[in-house]
Amino acid sequence: QSALTQPPSASASPGQSVTISCTGTSSDVGGYNYVSWYQQHPGKAPKLMIYEVSKRPSGVPDRFSGSKSGNTASLTVSGLQAEDEADYYCSSYAGSNNLGVFGTGTKVTVL
């Protein structure tokens, strides 16, 4: 199972929006509505931010939103804040006889 493709970095100024893409194949991202996004600050464990493409767990601000088109999923962070500066990873379900697969990760910088 190959890693999903994400841009290495993305940046925007406070208050602006940033969108991160996550490209897979029809065997993972395109085949299921089971894409998740995780936020990871340095030295910390990943935290679930989005699941099932666009759902937010309790406690995650509505500034975070997810979408999917074909084999590409996207995470948008609107109204960017300093605490949003972190690494973001997507992941996708890849079938009942497989592990999930992660994206390559994107470092988001708040300018």
- Please identify, using beta-carbon distances, which residue of 11 and 99 lies nearer to another protein: 99
Shortest Å distance, C-beta 74 to another protein: 17
- Please identify, using beta-carbon distances, which residue of 47 and 63 lies nearer to another protein: 47
Q: Summarize as ranges the residues that interact with another protein (CB under 8 A).
A: 3, 32, 34, 36, 38, 44-48, 51-52, 57, 89, 91-94, 97-105
Shortest Å distance, C-beta 60 to another protein: 12
d(CA 41, CA 109): 12
Structural tokens at position 5: 């493709």
Non-local (6+) Cβ contacts of 96 within 8 A are: none
d(CA 78, CA 47): 18
